[in-house]
Chains A and B, each alone.
Chain A
Amino acid sequence: MSFRNQIPNIITPKSLPQLPVKQLAFGKLSEYHFLEKEESLLRITLQFECGKIHESKLGLNEACVQLLLSGNEKMSAHSIQEKLDQFGAFIELEGGLRSSYIQVFCLKEYAEKVLDILAEVLDTLSFVEDEIRIYKNRVQENLKVKEQKTSFLAKRAFKGHIFGTNTVYGSSILSTDIESINQSDLIEHFNTKFKHSLFRIFTNTYIPEHQLKSLEKFSRETIATPFTWNGIYPEQHEIHLPKADAVQATLISGFISAGRKEETYPARSFLSTVLGGYFGSRLMKNIREEKGFTYGIHSAYTNYPDLALFQISSDVKNEVRDEALAEIRKEIKRLQTELIDNSELETVRNYMLGSLQRAFDGSLNLMDRYKTLLDLGLPMNYFQEYVDSILELNANYLQEIASIEFDAKRFYTVVAGNFDTA
């Protein structure tokens, strides 16, 4: 018998590394968090407590954030980019629901110079008309491209339907929203909401506080009130979006659920992994590997501080969309009526714990996990407790949770595709 018949022994990774993060006060009400690790590449994340929830017009915060480096009458956007590029810096701008971010990647040796440029740019930002016009034009054109994709249409419709298009969680920026944004809106939003809302600075390696000095004037002056969703659930459970020339149909099915703080979360995320959370999941096996309906199908919880959104999504052959939906329902039913066998329990458990270990590897990942804890309001030992809970899960308990969580009545479904074909 070949040595190849002997399956190698394995261990289950049960403990996560500590998060070696130090926190210092910054300005009056802000914080500087850094990872105690030597790195030559610096990533610095500036979190501003200003997001979609603070805007007076849809799309305004996003526009404001994307125009942060657009300069003023004397200092053009081009000259700003030139200066930042001169030090090899990459900058990412991201407008979020509750917060917005400026993320800088550069060599550590250039940190102070890059931050000084950034501070000057923010301090003298005037929202030049030309830059606003170019931005609006570009976003509107790019939106037209996205609107060609069934996946984009389905995502937008699902979010809008389940949360309500008039809520912060459910609304999407349309071309008309972009059109209505003007210079005075931007100036007002920036000056009154954004400019003094820097509340956390994160770095993946230590840089001395004096190098951050120029950012102090943006540190927050007040603490924002927490925001929660108080929406109403819609009555209609399935909606169809026709797209005549589509070769594939996008399916999204899911519901609003409790967030990470709630005690059944480890069981729920385990069930989601069994269903569609990894390459060997039941949906991947059934719909991709056995039937060849799709290139991929996934399920996951997206977590917010006050809730989570559970979604199953896939792009499938147009003509099999109903069959695919029926198979999804069948797989959900199985979770509620059959016990997960030991082998699958072990596979999913070890896979999840391995994923967590990978998510704790390297300075960027460590800082991202730490930031997640702060964003979702979770305790510092949360991830280790999560691991401990995963290790304790058993098949009976999982079946019980599946029956409650995946109750058919909770699901909403959007299908975007070509309904002219059979």
Chain B
Amino acid sequence: MLEYTKFRLANGLRVIHHFDPQTPLAVVNILYNVGARDEDPDYTGMAHLFEHLMFSGSAHAESYDEPLQKASGENNAFTSNDITNYYVTLPAENIETALWLESDRMFQLNLNENSMKVQQSVVIEEFKQRYLNQPYGDLWALIRELAYKEHPYQWATIGKEIGHIEKVDLEVLRSFYQRFYNPSNAILVMAGNIPEFQCKALAEKWFLDIPSGEANLNNYTVEPKQTELRRLTVEREVPMDCLTLAFHGPRRTASDFYACDLLMDVLGGSPSSRLYQSLIKELEIFADIGAYTTESIDEGLLLISGRILPGKTLEEAEEAVMKIVNEVLENGIQKSEWEKVCNKKRTVLNYQELEVLNKAMNLAMFENLGDADLVNSEEAKFLATSTESLHAAAKDYLQMSNCSILYYVAKK
């Protein structure tokens, strides 16, 4: 049970406090309700580029990093298709430094030509390092494009192409900042060795004077229901063929998300899972294979992906995967399989409570999903599923008409 308190400042900023006296540290986590799904289709990669620009300094702090390092702090950030999250850990006595820097960059960020140029260049190198200079680096981008035709999940957080990052100008950045970086659109978590009264006083001191702004309403074009199987074949300089199947799945807050998540674990979540056992060990078709959910806020994907051993074809690999999927569709799953994935989930959930940073991030994530309290009902929701509900989830989602298949062919 993760205990916390929650309040809202007059300008709309939501604040969550979690007290942990066992650590000498404090965590300041700020989640902004903006991600790649909020981007203009002609300026994809903006949310992520903007995350980089948030480290350019602000009106009263010329540099973000240096004062924080002086205060013995460490920080980082990440951007997903749904959100942008910034976090700091530092000695609890120094928490004000983090609040000063975070509030100042929420209030008055330095956006200038020079920092923009440098960060464009850094992000372009990141694009190359992680997506171009990397075998299979563009695989997930291809899958998104194939599975989503209307919803902005059709592009990856890094963006569709380098050109989109290159053409960004200060005007575009300023309007993005104004629209999304404000108290109404953010969640602040203070966790660690900070008493509640101090958290309240500090939140007011540092954040109350920031103009409220408007919350992101998160209205997106709904992805129309897929009605027939989609296929794409690409050829790349890689050593092995790779097969990926993507089925449309539920949103993170849907009641059947839990059954879907466990279903994917039964299929490909561990070495004893069905796909692993049959296709790596028995039939020796794949070198590796896994099954996952994207866990996205809007309707996400249920993914099965694996690399194929030489001598085997993509067609026979697909047939073998479908055979296993069909077995689940026809006969459901065993009680022992359900128990197994539930126990593994319990281990994972307990693991996430070992460190104060994880706890702080989870509180922010669940608050953004609707209510921080959801963090405390996760285990119960997974355990409330059943072999029947997993079978039902399979029938609802693992249908060929709901599937996109990517053949990623190794150039000979």
A contact set with B: CB distance below 8 Å: 2-5, 7-13, 17, 39-41, 77-78, 81-82, 84-90, 105-107, 110, 134, 137-138, 141-142, 144-145, 147-150, 245-248, 278-280, 288-295, 315-317, 346-348, 350-351, 353-355, 357-358, 361-364
Measured between beta carbons, the chain A residues less than 8 angstroms from B132 are 247
**New contact pairs (8) apart from A145-B136, A248-B133, A362-B354, CB-CB < 8 Å:** A4-B104, A134-B281, A141-B309, A247-B128, A292-B118, A316-B125, A354-B69, A357-B91
Q: A295 contacts B340, CB within 8 Å?
A: no
Query: In the bound complex, how far is the Cα of B310 from the Cα of A144, in angstroms?
Result: 11
Q: B100 contacts A363, CB within 8 Å?
A: no
Q: Does B376 contact A (CB under 8 A)?
A: no
User: Known contacts A8-B97, A78-B272, A90-B344: does B128 contact A355 (CB below 8 Å)?
Assistant: no
Measured between beta carbons, the chain B residues less than 8 angstroms from A77 are 271, 281
Measured CB to CB, the closest approach of chain B to A233, in angstroms, equals 31
| CB-defined A-B contacts under 8 Å, sample of 7 | A11-B91, A41-B354, A134-B284, A138-B287, A351-B70, A362-B355, A364-B354
Interface size on B, residues (CB 8 A): 75
B contact set with A: CB distance below 8 Å: 23-25, 59-60, 65-67, 69-74, 89-91, 93-94, 96-97, 99-100, 103-104, 107, 117-118, 120-122, 124-126, 128-130, 132-136, 205, 237-240, 270-272, 277, 280-281, 284, 287-288, 307, 309-310, 336, 339-347, 350-351, 353-356
Measured CB to CB, the closest approach of chain A to B195, in angstroms, equals 17
Kindly list the 10 A-B residue pairs having the minimum CB-CB distance in the complex, ordered from nearest.
Answer: A354-B72, A292-B121, A88-B343, A81-B272, A8-B96, A144-B239, A4-B60, A295-B126, A351-B69, A88-B347
Query: In the bound complex, how far is the Cα of B345 from the Cα of A41, in angstroms?
Result: 12
User: Known contacts A148-B237, A149-B135: does B24 contact A350 (CB below 8 Å)?
Assistant: no
User: Known contacts A11-B93, A148-B238, A245-B237: does B288 contact A351 (CB below 8 Å)?
Assistant: no
Measured between beta carbons, the chain A residues less than 8 angstroms from B67 are 7
User: Known contacts A85-B340, A141-B239, A144-B240: does B125 contact A358 (CB below 8 Å)?
Assistant: no
Query: In the bound complex, how far is the Cα of B286 from the Cα of A141, in angstroms?
Result: 10
Q: B133 contacts A82, CB within 8 Å?
A: no
Query: In the bound complex, how far is the Cα of B128 from the Cα of A295, in angstroms?
Result: 9
Query: In the bound complex, how far is the Cα of B312 from the Cα of A136, in angstroms?
Result: 17
Q: Which of chain A's residues has its CB closest to B239's CB?
A: A144
User: Known contacts A290-B118, A361-B23: does B59 contact A248 (CB below 8 Å)?
Assistant: no
User: Known contacts A347-B69, A357-B24, A358-B89: does B343 contact A41 (CB below 8 Å)?
Assistant: no
Cross-chain contact of A82 among B24, B66, B70, B272 (Cβ < 8 A): B272
Query: In the bound complex, how far is the Cα of B355 from the Cα of A41, in angstroms?
Result: 12
Query: In the bound complex, how far is the Cα of B73 from the Cα of A120, in angstroms?
Result: 46
Interface SS, B side: helix
Q: A145 contacts B135, CB within 8 Å?
A: yes
Measured CB to CB, the closest approach of chain A to B105, in angstroms, equals 11
Measured between beta carbons, the chain A residues less than 8 angstroms from B280 are 134, 138
Query: In the bound complex, how far is the Cα of B129 from the Cα of A316, in angstroms?
Result: 9
Q: A294 contacts B347, CB within 8 Å?
A: no
Query: In the bound complex, how far is the Cα of B395 from the Cα of A1, in angstroms?
Result: 64
Q: B237 contacts A10, CB within 8 Å?
A: no
Q: A354 contacts B128, CB within 8 Å?
A: no
Measured between beta carbons, the chain B residues less than 8 angstroms from A82 are 272, 336, 340
Q: A141 contacts B355, CB within 8 Å?
A: no
Measured between beta carbons, the chain B residues less than 8 angstroms from A144 are 239-240
Q: Which of chain B's residues has its CB closest to A83's CB?
A: B272
User: Known contacts A11-B94, A292-B125, A363-B354: does B347 contact A90 (CB below 8 Å)?
Assistant: yes
User: Known contacts A89-B347, A141-B307, A361-B355: does B66 contact A280 (CB below 8 Å)?
Assistant: yes
Measured between beta carbons, the chain A residues less than 8 angstroms from B72 are 10, 12-13, 350-351, 353-355, 357
Cross-chain contact of A85 among B25, B107, B272, B281 (Cβ < 8 A): B272
Query: In the bound complex, how far is the Cα of B124 from the Cα of A291, in angstroms?
Result: 13
Measured between beta carbons, the chain A residues less than 8 angstroms from B73 are 351, 354
Cross-chain contact of A280 among B25, B59, B69, B124 (Cβ < 8 A): B69
Measured between beta carbons, the chain B residues less than 8 angstroms from A294 are 122, 125
Measured CB to CB, the closest approach of chain A to B183, in angstroms, equals 15
Q: B135 contacts A148, CB within 8 Å?
A: yes
Q: A141 contacts B93, CB within 8 Å?
A: no
User: Known contacts A13-B91, A134-B281, A280-B65: does B71 contact A247 (CB below 8 Å)?
Assistant: no
User: Known contacts A293-B125, A354-B74: does B118 contact A41 (CB below 8 Å)?
Assistant: no
Q: Which of chain A's residues has its CB closest to B135's CB?
A: A148
Measured between beta carbons, the chain B residues less than 8 angstroms from A5 are 60
Query: In the bound complex, how far is the Cα of B120 from the Cα of A290, in angstroms?
Result: 12
Query: In the bound complex, how far is the Cα of B125 from the Cα of A247, in angstroms?
Result: 9
Measured CB to CB, the closest approach of chain A to B69, in angstroms, equals 4
